[in-house]
Structures are given as structure tokens and as C-alpha cells.
Amino acid sequence: MSSSNILQTSEEVGELDTEGLITLLRGRQNLHLNETHYNVLRYKEIAGSDFLSYTKEDFESFGLAPGPAKRIEQLVNELNNQNLVILNPWSSTEDIRLITAVRRFGTRSWSRVAHEMGNRNSIECQTRWRLIDFNANRPNRTSTRNLYLIRRRRRNALNANQRRTTQSRNTNRTLPSILLNSAHVAQNTNHNDRDVRMSLEYVLNTDTS
């Protein structure tokens, strides 16, 4: 049985040293990690207890690319959420206290946030905050769909008005052109008729003489 199937709780992962943590990560094939990534963990001497408190930004600061850092963060969230959320659920009063503490100390001082909470550790506070922050910033699908429809209708109406304006301008430009061309043709016709009459008179006068 692989280590990924044996180690399923954050408590067990927290007891691992660096090499034990790397062994765990090797068993998670969906992470698509290689020796370069593992060497970063070795160089930074990251043990299991450290691992569970890091974010994507932390892993990137250690030298990991955004892709591996994001996948590792998802594993951290999975491990932290397995027991903490299910076995010890948060109350609405605790959520309010957590929000107040985070506003006071920020998202980089989870030990101080946990001390302020009193009954929660830093991992619990960080995990719960991520959930609260995600739900607060997640767009409402219905509202987004309605906004899309409103924008599309407004854009269609604007395009229709632009087409009508363009057609009106083209009409205004075309009518004077037609009148001008007609006048020009009529003028040319008058000149041609006059030339024909003068030529005819010249021929008649010549024959008479």
C-alpha cells in the first residue's frame, strides 16, 4: 500500500520530516512533481508541519513554478480540510471573531490570529479564512448572467443606432450627388444640342452660298 493511502490526516503529515514528506508527495502522481521540485523542499528543509501552513505564494517564493505550487497548495487544503472542517465545525460566532482577527493582524500572522481566537490553531484559522474569502469573492452566476445579457442588449441597441445613423448619412450624401449628376447631364445635353444646331446652320449656310 502506498504512503498516499496510509497518510490521510493532517496530524500524520505534520509528524513527517522532509524526506517523509517527499515520499508522500511521490505517491501523489496527480501532482506531477519531479526531483527538481523535491530538491526545493530539501533545500528549504520543509517538514510536514511546515508544509501544512504554506500557501501557493509561499511555495513560489521557495522557487517552485506557479503550476506545481498551485497543485501542492490544493493538496495542503485537502489535508487540512479532511478533519478540521468535518470533526470540528465552525460556528457563525467564530467566523465573526475570525474575520475581526484577520482584519486586525492580516493574513501573514496566523499564530497571532489563533491566539486571538483562543480555541483554534493557526492551521484551522488559515483554512477557515480561505473558505470564507473564497465564498465572499466568488461571483454570483445569476447576477453575472444577467449582467452579460444587459451588456449584450445595450451593445446590440448601440450597433442598431450606429447602423441607422450611417444609413441616414449615406442617404443625405447620395441625394445631393444624384441631383448634381442630373444637373450636369442636363447641362451637357444642352451644350450638345446647341453644338448640333450650330453645325447644322453652318452646313446650310455653306450650301446656300
- The verdict on 80 and 69 lying in the same domain is yes
d(CA 78, CA 130): 12
Q: Which residue has the higher pLDDT, 79 or 194?
A: 79
- The verdict on 201 and 147 lying in the same domain is yes
d(CA 15, CA 105): 28
Domain count, the chain: 3
Decide if pLDDT at 3 tops 50: no
Q: Quick check: 83 and 10 in contact, CB under 8 A?
A: yes
Q: Quick check: 65 and 56 in contact, CB under 8 A?
A: no
Among positive and negative, which fits the CA dihedral 23, 41, 45, 10?
A: negative
Range in 58-67, 79-88, 189-198 with the lowest mean pLDDT:
189-198
Decide if pLDDT at 4 tops 50: no
- The verdict on 70 and 112 lying in the same domain is no
Decide if pLDDT at 179 tops 60: no
Decide if pLDDT at 68 tops 50: yes
Decide if pLDDT at 6 tops 60: no
